[in-house]
Amino acid sequence: MKVIIVGGVAGGASCAARLRRLDEKAEILMVERGPYVSYANCGLPYHVSGVIADEANLLVATEAMFRAVFGVEVRTNCEAIAIDRAAKTVSLRNVLTGEASVEPYDALVLSPGAAPVRPPLPGIDLPGIFSVRTVPDARHIREWLHQHEAPKTGMDSYTGFQTVTKPQRAVVVGGGFIGLEMVENLAHLGLEVTLVEKLNQVMPPLDPEMARLVENYLVKHGVNVQLNDGVAGFRQCPDGTIEVLTASGKNHPADVVILAIGVRPETALAKAAGLEIGARGGIRVDEQMRTSDPDILAVGDAVEVKDFVTGQWTLIPLAGPANRQGRIAADVIAGRDSRFRGTQGTSICKIFEGEIGQTGPSEKVLRAAGVTDFEKVYLYQNSHAGYYPGAKMLAVKVLFRKSDGRFLGAQVLGEDGVAKRIDAFAMAIQMGATIYDLEEAELCYAPPFGSAKDPVNFAGMVAGNLLRGDMPIVHWDGTGDGLLLDVRNPAELAVESVPGAVHIPLPQLRARLGELPRDREIHVICRSAVRAYYATRILLQNGFNARNISGGMLARSHRA
């Protein structure tokens, strides 16, 4: 049996290694268009800044290792240019020498990945404009920054003259994972960074109100965040710098530009071969990663996958699923009945000290999928016991089914402990947990790591209080007709108050119930909706019609 694998990074490399373990006799040929196989594309932004100092560290497994350990024939700088499905052959071409060959296959695995989107804008090919996909890309950015290094700040130690400080300015176009990671790493190098994003939010997988927190955080760290403004073109200035022109007519000067607008599945080869392409633009595969031609499988960023929760086709260009798909493709070729269970879109992104985590669909994805049987709650909890140093607030949005409590998705932001919660949430979704299961989760606790009631438990409790009818809630955009009752302390109101709200501090509430109307819905406010929950319980049991405003003032602070 001869297996050809097109693409030697995450999915392809996983497939090759797994297939060899399953079948010592198969002839395996892995071709990769670039100069390296199995490199750490997730590490590229950190190599640009030198956080990952040595380029060699990005090479997870070398060509030599694939040959020696896995007995896999590797051809780098080798592009697959055509598939003859009838003849079961692939035409290959060396991108450096132009040398061509035709290789027969019994099974073919496509793992070409996804290419950075490069719209045909005026000036897009100017020097100094980069995408971040390959090891050479990172190398070119490093070289560019080094060549264009600005004079250092401060006194010249020899002449005594003060040198003129000219910090480098970067424009990052696109505020997704790679865009944000590039923002951090360029800022780490001391550049002034402008982030230009066409949408009304950064981090498109997040719901907009959660993205608001990220935007505020970027601004706090000195990033110039420009939303709702796409790039119209690029212009080279006489001094060699670039002007980034936007749709709204703005003009952002830059010494370097990073394009991180998103990625598009590499489907040219598959399309030309007549393989089915899905509506989202990825190669269509079944649960066993088979394309519409059963002898051709496809994995990784190039394929469409099913959202595990909504069942809808989606594109999730992430390394974890790509690796698992590669493994599954190898299993299937080796005659095993492995299946891909779909994706939850579980992700995390570091931005400065912040962590942005998500698993399961967002509210907007649920709405786009036509799901109406869901509710959401917001909560704000310490990352670990508040009395132990270093606790940070986690902002959590939880989505769940109203009808049966099934837990659907979570978004968690903060500067500590996000990954811990996302992984618990991710496992819960995978196993079909309800928010009642979250209430009862027994997670690890010691003061440096969590709380006796973990934010994951709180998420379940808040949702459970809602579904059991113990705590009707309302969101800030639904408070129109209610009487706003603020139960915070006077000192808190001095900092920020809500126009029109009645103020009764929680400890006085029982004694002052007579001041509240019985013919009107009361919407209770506190800082994080915990005290407002206590107040809501007091009110409900005293015959009032009360609702807690989910997330309280903290949720108000980042409304979309």
Residues whose CB is less than 8 angstroms from the CB of residue 264 and which lie 6 or more positions away in sequence, other chains included: 114, 115, 117, 281
The Cα 511–Cα 130 span in angstroms is: 65
Instruction: Tell me which of 15, 42, 78, 526 is the catalytic residue.
Output: 42
Calpha distance 292→162 (Å, rounded): 67
CB 110 within 8 A of CB 296: yes
Reply yes or no on whether 42 is catalytic. Answer: yes
Pair of tokens at residue 553: 């003032």
Q: How far is the CB of 100 from a second copy (least distance, A)?
A: 31
Q: Min. distance of Cβ 35 from a second copy in angstroms?
A: 18
Determine how many CB atoms are found less than 10 A away from the CB of residue 494: 9
Spatial separation of the C-alpha atoms in residues 469 and 480, rounded to whole Å: 22
Nearer to a second copy, 40 or 501 (CB): 40
Tell me how far, at minimum, the Cβ of 300 lies from a second copy, in Å.
11
> Are 78 and 37 a contacting pair, CB within 8 Å?
no
Residue of 437, 457, 432, 459 lying closest to 445 (CA atoms): 457
Is the CB of 86 or the CB of 444 nearer to a second copy? 444
Beta bridge partners of 481: none
In the complex, the smallest distance separating the C-beta of residue 170 from a second copy, rounded to whole angstroms, is 21
Bridge partner list, 485: 502, 524
Considering the complex, what minimum distance in angstroms separates the CB of residue 424 from a second copy? 4
Q: Of 280, 282, 262, 410, whose CA–CA distance to 11 is shortest? A: 282
Min dist. Cβ of residue 45 to a second copy (A): 9
Closest to 355 measured CA to CA, from 383, 323, 387, 316? 383
The H or E element containing residue 427 is helix 418-430
Which of 80/506 has CB closer to a second copy?
506
Cα gap 449→93, rounded to integer Å: 53
Shortest CB 21 distance to a second copy, Å: 4
H or E segment at 502? strand 502-503
Alpha carbon 481 to its chain centroid, in Å, reads 37
Whether 205 and 194 have beta carbons less than 8 Å apart is answered as no
Rank residues 71 and 278 by Cβ distance to a second copy and give the closer one.
Answer: 71
Measured from the CB atom, the residue of 270 and 509 that comes closer to a second copy is: 509
List b or e across 158-175, with b for residues whose CB sees 16 or more CB atoms inside 10 angstroms: eeeeeeeeeebbbbbbbb
- H or E element that contains 331: helix 319-333
Q: Which is nearer to a second copy, 23 or 192 (CB)?
A: 23
Residue 192 or 492 having the CB closest to a second copy: 492
As annotated, the active-site residues are 42
